[in-house]
Amino acid sequence: MAEPAYEPVQPVPARPVEPVAATPASPAGAVATRRRSGLGSLAVRILLTLVGAAGLIIGGFLNWIHSLEGVNLNVRALWQTTFNNSGSFVATVGFVSIVLGLVAIIGLSPRSGWLTRFAGALGIVAFVLFVIEVYRANLDVGNVQIGAWIALAGSVIAIIGGFFGTRTVIVETAGPVAVAP
């Protein structure tokens, strides 16, 4: 009989667990394991989300290009090479940035942080679209002014903040946890 073409897969040993005192309702000798994610992680999430949202909101009010503030720059600057003044506040790049900052703050309500990460990712997409149009207009990246850069920094910080403060999982077992050899 021929040898197998591959080596058999060896089982991966389980991670050692941190024993936690049994709860009063659990049977004697029960061991519980838990993943640490306490108030410190939640505080970091709140802080980073608020700083990121502030960057998005403040960036919307600052200059983006040609000394044109984000709240005056037409939203078409994200897909056209014209950087014109908009007649409506709602149709501006600054309004988009402000709304994304508010969505990041609303993203604090679900514990998973997905909405905060989503708002941050959309902020990065808006910045990339803007820089592409700046490049297409034969302008230098040096023409991109402080408002766009602050909105980008706020987006990145919001994404990072969305990864903190996840739910703590507690698993209780009826006996000692066996570790596979």
> Residues 154, 100: contact at Cβ < 8 Å?
no
Separation of alpha carbons 71 and 21, rounded Å = 56
Pairing status of strand 63-65 against strand 68-69 = antiparallel
**128-144 per-position pLDDT tens digit:** 999 999 999 999 888 99
Q: What is the DSSP secondary-structure string of 104-116?
A: HHHTTSSTT-HHH
Record the pTM.
0.73
**51-98 per-position pLDDT tens digit:** 999 999 999 999 999 989 999 999 999 999 999 998 899 999 999 999
**What residues does each domain of the chain span?**
48-161
Separation of alpha carbons 94 and 60, rounded Å = 4
